[in-house]
Amino acid sequence: MSDTTGIEQKKKEAYFTASQSQLIWARFRRNRTAMIAATVLLVMVLMGLFAPFLSPYDPTIVGRDKDYTNGAPQIPRFCDEQGCSARPFIYGVTRERSMATNFRWVTKVDREDRRYVQFFVRGDEYRLLGIKGNLHLFGVDRGKIHLFGTDEAGKDIFSRTLHAVNTSLAVGTMGVLISFVMALTIGGIAGYFGGKIDGVIQMITDAIRTVPAIPLFMALAAFVPDTWSAETRFFFISIILGLIGWPTLARRVRTHLLVERNQDYVLAAKLSGAGAGHVIRKHLLPSFTSYIIVDLVISFPYMVLSETALSFIGLGLKDPVNSLGVMLQNTTSADVLLNYQWYFIPVIFFIVLVMAFVFVGDGLRDAAAPYGDQK
């Protein structure tokens, strides 16, 4: 009985001496859905980050398979009617146009031609974290393997999907960072000083919030030169997403600072000679860091959704950039829906990515609630 009492006493002491981040993490771990989503999100982020190594081929036209355009997914297997193998394999294929299918490409599988999957093979060159290499996770001993099939140009959809996840995450990250800096700066000034300064800033904030996003991007797209490179367009979209995404967080920062600026610890800092910038940066903003982090995580999927939607309607990124929005453009035709359903595989990754962010954000929001469960 004494041991149980001692354990309970230690738990209570640990709770009352824990930092805010430790309390949030303890609450977050008890949310099973959020933990599963966090695991999935981590896997997706790592897949995007190491896409050049995980994908077997260059996702651009350089790595195309001209002999397997609009090819169906090739699923490795271990057994067939000829027996089983310790190594996974796919079958070789031949392609020809058939009058029976209105001269569409018809794939004929050669079940006598086994092509074995190999790991850590040399292939197309790439740069990963600034390091040049050509080692890929897997490939086949002869020809090429396409787990998710190929598109009309012969580009590997599996490789394109992994790189698309990385691109969409990069755009979202840049957009969130830009909006984060602007929200903290503008919201901090408005909340700390109040008065006329706050009134002017709120007028600007409300004006930006009322601007409809799609017409704004349509107007901007009309002024974007077609000669812009893919990298230039990438940074342009990221900056614009950040510039229109800061008002919501800025209003939350302002509201918190309006309440906290009259607290005793703020008055003590002012009496000690601290300037406004020091008080905001060292005292006010750290007082609700956890809520800022939660806001960032929650806003991330909206950035990804915005990039995807803009690229989908042709106002965002375009080929040769691989993003989820660019890949979803290929699913709009009836021909794809009827004949090339594997084009929709990136849609699954898009849904999983957004839902993972949503569940992680909800879990962090519940964990950061000041009146959450304290057991």
> Are residues 266 and 244 part of one domain?
yes
Strand partners, 104: 98
354 with 234, same domain? yes
Task: Give a yes or no: residue 339 inside a domain.
Answer: yes
Considering the domain boundaries, does residue 326 fall inside one?
A: yes
Distance CA(78)–CA(183), nearest Å, equals 55
Residues contacting residue 296 through CB under 8 Å, at least 6 positions apart: 176, 180, 249
Q: Which two tokens stand for residue 99?
A: 């009058």
pLDDT of 306 reads: 79
Backbone angles phi, psi at 130, to 5 degrees: 85, -5
- What per-residue confidence (pLDDT) applies to 137? 93
Q: Domain check: are 131 and 186 in the same one? A: no
Percentage above 90 pLDDT, the chain:
21
Give the closest residue to 353 by CA, choosing from 37, 103, 111: 37
| Domain membership flag for residue 50 | no
> How far apart are alpha carbons 349 and 324 in whole angstroms?
9
* Residue pair 132/125 in contact by the 8 Å Cβ criterion: yes
Q: What's the pLDDT at 104?
A: 65
Q: Is the peptide bond before 247 cis (omega within 30 degrees of 0)?
A: no
Alpha helices in the chain (DSSP H): 2-17, 20-29, 32-49, 51-54, 157-193, 195-209, 213-223, 230-243, 247-260, 264-271, 276-279, 289-312, 324-329, 334-339, 345-367
pLDDT in tens, 297-326: 878 887 777 777 777 766 777 777 788 888
In a domain, 196, yes or no: yes
Mean pLDDT value across the chain: 82
Are residues 188 and 298 both part of a single domain?
Answer: yes
Tell me whether residue 102 is in a domain. Answer: yes
Query: H/E element holding 136?
Result: strand 131-140
pTM of the model: 0.81
Share of the chain above pLDDT 70, in %: 88
Q: What is the pLDDT of residue 309?
A: 76
* Residue 361 tokens, joined: 């954000």
pLDDT digits 0-9 by tens, 234-287: 778 778 878 888 888 888 888 888 888 888 888 888 888 888 878 877 777 777
Domain end position, chosen among 127, 150, 173: 150
Number of domains composing the chain: 2
- 116 and 190 belong to one structural domain: no
What tens digit of pLDDT does each residue of 184-218 get? 888 888 888 888 888 899 898 888 888 877 777 77
pLDDT at position 103: 58
Do 341 and 239 belong to one domain?
Answer: yes
**Which has more pLDDT, 54 or 129?**
54
Residues 325 and 354 in one domain: yes
pLDDT of residue 160: 93
Asked whether 91 and 111 are in contact (CB, 8 A), the reply is: yes
Tens digits of residue pLDDT in 54-101? 999 999 888 888 888 888 899 999 988 888 888 999 988 877 766 665
What distance lies between CA 223 and its chain's CA centroid? 27
Domain identity same for 176 and 262 = yes
**Is 346 a domain residue?**
yes
Q: Does residue 285 lie within any of the structural domains?
A: yes
Confidence tier at 375 by pLDDT (50, 70, 90): very low
Max Cα-Cα span within the chain: 88
Q: Which of 105, 127, 150 is the last residue of a domain?
A: 150
132 pairs with which residues across the strands?
Answer: 127
pLDDT for 146: 92
- Amino acid present at 15: Y
- Boundary (domain end) residue, out of 97, 116, 150: 150
pLDDT at 1: 47
Q: What is the CATH number of the domain that holds 191?
A: 1.10.3720.10
What is the structure's pLDDT at 98?
63
105 and 229, same structural domain?
no
* The pLDDT value given to residue 251: 87
Residue 294 falls within a domain, yes or no? yes
132: domain range? 64-150
Q: Are residues 213 and 85 in the same domain?
A: no
Tell me: do 194 and 277 sit in the same domain: yes
Name which residue leads in pLDDT, 210 or 160: 160
- Are residue 200 and residue 168 in the same domain, yes or no? yes
